[in-house]
Amino acid sequence: MSTKELEQLTIVIDFDSTFTKVEGLDELARIALEGNSKQAEIVGKIREITDKGMTGNYSFADSLRDRVALLPANRSHVDQLITFLKGKISESFKRNKTFIKEHADQILIVSSGFKDFIVPVVEEMGIAAANVYANTFTYDADGTITGYDQANLLSQDRGKVSLLQSLALDGEVYVIGDGYTDYELREAGLANKFFAFTENVSRKAVTDKADFVVPSLDEFLYLNGLSRAQSYPKSRIKVLLLENVHPAAVQLFKKEGFQVELLKGALDEEELIEKIKDVSIIGLRSKTNLTKKVLEHPNAARLMCVGAFCIGTNQIDLAECENRGIAVFNAPYSNTRSVVELSIGLMVMLTRNIFEKSTKMHAGVWDKSATNSFEIRGKKIGLVGYGNIGTQISVIAEALGMEVYFFDIVDKLALGNAKKCNSLKELLSTVDFVSLHVDGRKSNTDIIGKQEFSWMKDNVIFLNLSRGHVVQIPALVEAIKSGKIWGAAIDVFPYEPKTNDEEFVNELRGLPNVILMPHIGGSTEEAQANIGEFVPSKLLQFMNNGSTYGSVNFPELQLPPLENAHRLLHIHHNVPGILAQINNVFAKYHVNIIGQYLKTTEQTGYVITDVAKEYAEEIVNELKLIDNTIKFRMLY
Nearest-angstrom CA–CA distance, 300 and 464:
35
Q: Is the pLDDT of residue 56 over 80?
A: no
Contact 176, 108 (CB under 8 A): no
- Neighbouring CB atoms inside 10 A of 380's CB total 17
- Segment 48-77 shows an average pLDDT of 83
- Segment 208-231 shows an average pLDDT of 91
- Segment 352-364 shows an average pLDDT of 91
| Bridge partners for 137 per DSSP | 148
**Residue 2: per-residue pLDDT:** 59
| 115-117-121-122 Cα dihedral, nearest 10 degrees | -10
- Segment 331-335 shows an average pLDDT of 88
* CB neighbour list of residue 102: distance below 8 Å, 6 or more residues apart: 227
**Residue 333: per-residue pLDDT:** 86
Rg (CA), the chain: 32
Nearest-angstrom CA–CA distance, 604 and 630:
9
Distance linking the first and last C-alpha atoms of the chain: 18
DSSP letters, 311-355, are S--TTB-HHHHHHTT-EEE--SSTTHHHHHHHHHHHHHHHHTTHH
- If one compares 590 and 234, the residue with the highest pLDDT of the two is 590
Contact 176, 220 (CB under 8 A): yes
90-120: pLDDT as tens digits: 999 999 999 999 999 999 999 999 999 999 9
Q: Categorize the per-residue pLDDT at 1 as very low, low, confident or very high, splitting at 50, 70 and 90.
A: low
- If one compares 440 and 542, the residue with the highest pLDDT of the two is 542
Q: Is the pLDDT of residue 628 over 70?
A: yes
Nearest-angstrom CA–CA distance, 301 and 296:
8
474-525: pLDDT as tens digits: 999 999 999 999 999 999 999 998 888 899 999 999 999 999 999 999 889 8
Q: Residue 290 gets which letter from DSSP?
A: B
Q: What are the backbone angles phi and psi of residue 341, rounded to the nearest 5°?
A: -60, -40
* CB neighbour list of residue 359: distance below 8 Å, 6 or more residues apart: none
140-183: pLDDT as tens digits: 999 999 999 999 999 999 999 999 999 999 999 999 999 999 99
Nearest-angstrom CA–CA distance, 56 and 66:
16
**Residue 384: per-residue pLDDT:** 98
- Segment 462-472 shows an average pLDDT of 96
**Residue 61: per-residue pLDDT:** 82
**Residue 70: per-residue pLDDT:** 86
Contact 463, 489 (CB under 8 A): yes
Q: Is the pLDDT of residue 68 over 90?
A: no
What is the percent of the chain where pLDDT is above 70? 99
Q: Is the pLDDT of residue 198 over 80?
A: yes
Nearest-angstrom CA–CA distance, 582 and 605:
12
**Residue 3: per-residue pLDDT:** 60
383-414: pLDDT as tens digits: 999 999 999 999 999 999 999 999 999 999 99
Q: Categorize the per-residue pLDDT at 47 as very low, low, confident or very high, splitting at 50, 70 and 90.
A: confident
Q: Is 301 helix (H, G, I), strand (E, B) or coil?
A: coil
Question: Across all residues in the chain, what is the average pLDDT?
Answer: 93
Does an H or E element contain 122, and which?
Answer: helix 115-123
**Residue 427: per-residue pLDDT:** 98
**Residue 563: per-residue pLDDT:** 84
User: Which ranges of 224-297 would DSSP assign to H, the alpha helix?
Assistant: 247-255, 269-275, 292-295
Q: Is the pLDDT of residue 631 over 90?
A: yes
Cα maximum dimension of the chain: 95
Identify which of 5-9, 42-46, 48-52, 399-403 has the greatest average pLDDT. Answer: 399-403
Q: Residue 564 gets which letter from DSSP?
A: S
**Residue 231: per-residue pLDDT:** 78
Nearest-angstrom CA–CA distance, 383 and 459:
17
- Segment 559-578 shows an average pLDDT of 93
258-270: pLDDT as tens digits: 999 999 999 999 9
Q: Is the pLDDT of residue 275 over 90?
A: yes
**Residue 4: per-residue pLDDT:** 58
Contact 384, 438 (CB under 8 A): yes
Nearest-angstrom CA–CA distance, 530 and 537:
11
Q: Residue 551 gets which letter from DSSP?
A: B
Q: Which residues are catalytic?
A: 467, 496, 519
**Residue 460: per-residue pLDDT:** 97
